[in-house]
């Protein structure tokens, strides 16, 4: 069985260790761009803008899975969910379709 993290907890997220302290990604002093609302810091300005537009301030997820109650704030996360939990479906452009509906040419 694979262990996640040093203590084997599967709920541990990825942390960067600096001087024996755990630092959450996005809160590093090396990050240049800070969210105007919550202060979370990002290495890239585009990532900070996406955070402000779709994640920060308790915004509701806007991408709904057609098969279950799962909702995501980013389209890519919905795609990962669909591939993992609904293998009979596939993302095609901005739509989710049944694989059986695709015509083979």
Residue 105 lies in a domain: no
Total structural domains within the chain: 2
> In this structure, are 51 and 67 located in the same domain?
no
Residue with tokens 């990604």: 25
Can you give the residue range of the structural domain that contains 35? 16-55
SS3 category, 77? helix
Which runs of consecutive H residues, i.e. helices, occur in the chain? Answer: 45-50, 75-85
d(CA 30, CA 53): 23
Answer yes or no: is 5 within a domain: no
- The CB density around residue 96, as the number of other CB atoms within 10 Å, is 18
3-state secondary structure (DSSP) of residue 17: strand
pLDDT of 54 over the 60 cut: yes
21 and 47 assigned to the same domain = yes
Say yes or no: 39 and 68 in one domain: no
Q: Write down the pTM of the prediction.
A: 0.59
Mean pLDDT on 20-35 = 64
Within a domain: 8:
no
pLDDT bucket at 103, cuts 50 / 70 / 90: low
Question: What's the pLDDT at 88?
Answer: 87
Closest of 73, 55, 53, 52 to residue 64, by C-alpha: 73
Q: Are residues 22 and 51 in the same domain?
A: yes
How far apart, in Å, are the Cα atoms of 80 and each of 45, 83, 101?
24, 5, 20
Most confident among 11-15, 27-31, 32-36, 94-98 (mean pLDDT): 32-36
């Amino acid at each position: 069985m694979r262990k996640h993290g040093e203590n084997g907890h599967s709920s541990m997220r990825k942390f960067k260790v600096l001087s024996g302290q755990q630092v959450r990604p996005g809160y590093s002093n090396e990050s240049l761009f800070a969210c105007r609302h919550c202060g979370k810091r990002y290495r890239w300005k585009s990532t900070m803008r996406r955070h402000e537009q779709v994640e920060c301030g308790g915004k509701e997820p806007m991408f709904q899975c057609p098969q279950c109650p799962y909702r995501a704030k980013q389209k890519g996360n919905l795609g990962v969910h669909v591939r993992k939990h609904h293998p009979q479906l596939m993302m095609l452009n901005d739509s989710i379709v049944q694989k059986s509906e695709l015509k083979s040419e």
